[in-house]
Amino acid sequence: MDPKHQRAALNDGHSIPVLGLGTYAPDAVPKSEAGEATKIAIDVGYRHIDSSHAYQNEEEVGLAIRSKITDAERNHEIWLMHSFCTTSPLVRTGLEQSLKKLQLDYVDLYLMHYPAAMKPGKELYPKDEQGKIMHDTVDICATWEAMEKCKDAGLAKSIGVSNFNHRQLEMILSKPGLKYKPVCNQVECHLYLNQSKLLDFCKSKDIVLVAYGALGSSRDPKWVDQSYPVLLEDPVICALAKKHKRSPALIALRYQLQRGVVVLAKSFIEKEIKENIQVFEFQLSSEDMKALDGLNKNLRYYPADL
């Protein structure tokens, strides 16, 4: 097998490519750039694309996938992970709407984007008069049951969650009548927030941890405090990059792969997309890993909950 196509086994019998392309971008970035980045990524060997209703670029990402690969090839090649922020009555409707925009019949992995649902409405993140996001009262177990029905209907091959802590995962795992376990938990995870305890918990439950923000976030002022340190400028990371003759981004990505974490590399820059897939071409030593473990600050670039 081409090393670029390494996969991690999921608890439902499917498997997920361990390196994915993240397609989120700040509002100021043209949506077309997500489509162009997806095309470049597929051309150079990426086989895992992360998308979301919340990114508002489903048409562009779907068109890029369809322009590069046939339906028959996609069954064996491209892994599409998609998430939706919604309440249980709208889980299937939301997925069907997304599939229509993506021009696809199914997604490989459908995620519950947050452990809380937004109030239904026209706005993506509906807010009250004080500017706080309004949540719905539907519990996550009811929403999970709706996710299970999407899998049974063939609209998603696998189902998982995002931004869950261990307590919230336990709520689903201990739910009476549970039909399918979450196959993964996608969370913010990088060298300043290495999520070691959550990773150990997920491994103990046969749930794959998927890291977003692995390169330190896009520093979108909508979400990220601009005073926070720039991850890829850290002296320890830069020293290891020099040692291995690799970019700081590759050090951050390789660290996650060697911990058994599936990692999303977010970039719309062609040079960086091509460079990031070189993550399979080198190894970090145990001493390197220990030094990188020591960078953890439990620092979140993104809010823990909305």
Task: Map tokens 């050090």 to a residue.
Answer: 251
**Residue 244 annotated as lining a ligand binding site:** no
* Burial class (CB within 10 angstroms; exposed 0-12, middle 13-18, buried 19+) of 190: buried
DSSP assignment, residue 174?
A: T
Structural contact between residues 38 and 65, judged by C-beta atoms closer than 8 angstroms: yes
In angstroms, the CA 162 to CA 151 distance is 17
Nearest CA to 230 out of 176, 274, 147, 295 is that of 295
Residues taking part in catalysis: 55
In angstroms, the CA 75 to CA 157 distance is 11
**Could you tell me which residues are beta bridge partners of residue 249?**
none
**Alpha-carbon 274 to chain mean position:** 19
- Tokens standing for 15? 């498997």
**Binding annotation:** 113
**Binding annotation for substrate:** 113
